[in-house]
Amino acid sequence: MSISDRERAYCKFLDTLGFGNSDDFSLFEKAMRHTSYVHEVDIPIECSYERLEFIGDAVLKLVISKYLYLKYPNYKEGILSKLRGEIVADKTLAQFATKIGLNEFILLSNNERKSGGEHKQSILACAFEAFLGAIYLTCNFDRVEDFIVANFSCDMCKIEENIEKINPKQQLQEYTQEISHSLPEYVLVSKTGSEHNSTFEMAVYFDGKLLAKGCGKSKKNAQQEAARNALEYLKNEGLWKQ
């Protein structure tokens, strides 16, 4: 693809996303230059996406922080941080980049492309953040915010729906320590099945009171299930808020 063909295709891509009226195509182009590419074509490292990635990362975290803060007024800081961490993780951002087709425009060195660089989560995530940085600098914060919420709210909701799967043992421990500076206690109730196909049942207690039980193919999995059931019990009793 020649430079003119690339610019034509990229401008069409930007137009599809609602940024076709931008008067600074060069900044969006910079957002697609991986460091391996600028080294290969021998242009300054400042021409890569690293600086735009820096500002895009900050803007993304602010947008997600605001989104979660307003959507979940009862969630504590720890839970909000865990949710944000899941949303801004490389795996999630790489999926976002692929979803909108950004991966088609990332510029890589020949060696990086041969090694499958266009499929690497870290590269896709960095390019996505750099792209957000370009939106912010050519448009404004509101445009970035609208773009993220409009395009990825469904994906973020899927992550939010799984919040109780984010290490329930840790969440239960945070709750008990806040209440009485003590830890929950896990007790093996039973082990059934053969040696190579066992099922464990664990009970979790707090201050001598049984909160819940859980089963799993390992003690660890059974403890996680018991903790998850304990959190559900505490939530239903109005004793725990996420």
Query: Is a pLDDT exceeding 70 seen at residue 195?
Result: yes
Q: By residue range, what is the domain housing residue 10?
A: 3-163
Query: pLDDT per residue over 53-88, tens digit each?
Result: 999 999 999 999 999 999 888 777 877 888 888 889
57 is catalytic: yes
Give domain status of residue 113, yes or no. yes
pTM, 2 dp = 0.69
Same domain, 114 and 151: yes
The catalytic position among 57, 112, 118, 225 is: 57
Name residue, tokens 């819940």: 212
Quick one: CA torsion of 225, 226, 231, 235, rounded to 10 degrees? 110
DSSP 8-state assignment for residue 203: E
What's the structural domain count of the chain?
2
Same domain, 112 and 181: no
In this prediction, residue 164 has a pLDDT band, given cuts at 50, 70 and 90, of low
In this prediction, residue 239 has a pLDDT band, given cuts at 50, 70 and 90, of confident
The catalytic position among 129, 145, 201, 225 is: 129
Same domain, 149 and 44: yes
90 is catalytic: no
The Cα-based distances of 145 to 1, 59, 61, 74 in angstroms read: 32, 9, 11, 22
Average pLDDT in the 132-155 region? 89
Query: pLDDT per residue over 196-206, tens digit each?
Result: 888 999 999 99
Give domain status of residue 60, yes or no. yes
Query: pLDDT per residue over 88-123, tens digit each?
Result: 999 999 999 999 999 999 999 999 999 888 889 999
In this prediction, residue 242 has a pLDDT band, given cuts at 50, 70 and 90, of low
DSSP 8-state assignment for residue 17: T
